[in-house]
């Protein structure tokens, strides 16, 4: 199994349960690891055979910027479902964090794994 990753993709969005959070955009940070097989891309040197991390990033930015979730959990499930449905990814690990959400902590968030992990 090979992994294509995106690290610290920062997106501005409305997220949170408190009234003030519904009025201002906050930054969420995404770390995404996606299972894939890179051999076809490596041998052809052609992006058409690769998991295009730019396309994944653009799709996630478009979704998250226009979504106004209350919970990080909701956003994480949506992101995982979107990637598994729209890209050739059988398994992923996703970390969603809200930098600065808790005083004294760099960030808070969660990590989920979805799909079937290839051997």
Active site residues: 98
Rg of the chain in Å (alpha carbons): 15
The CA distance from 113 to 92, in Å, is 6
- The answer to whether 41 touches 21, Cβ cutoff 8 Å, is no
Looking at residue 68, the DSSP 8-state letter turns out to be -
Q: What is the DSSP string of 2-29?
A: EEEEEEEEEEEE---SSGGGGTS-EEEE
Looking at residue 82, the DSSP 8-state letter turns out to be H
């Amino acid at each position: 199994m090979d992994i294509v990753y995106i690290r610290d993709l920062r997106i501005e969005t409305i997220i949170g349960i408190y009234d003030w959070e519904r009025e201002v955009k906050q930054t969420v940070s995404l770390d995404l690891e996606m299972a894939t097989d890179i051999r076809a891309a490596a041998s052809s040197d052609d992006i058409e055979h690769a998991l295009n991390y730019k396309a994944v990033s653009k799709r996630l930015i478009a979704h998250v910027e226009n979504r106004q979730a209350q919970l990080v959990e909701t956003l994480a499930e949506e992101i995982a479902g979107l990637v598994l449905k729209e890209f050739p990814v059988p398994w992923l690990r996703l970390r969603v964090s809200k930098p600065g959400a808790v005083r004294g902590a760099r960030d808070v968030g969660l990590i989920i794994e979805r799909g079937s992990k290839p051997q």
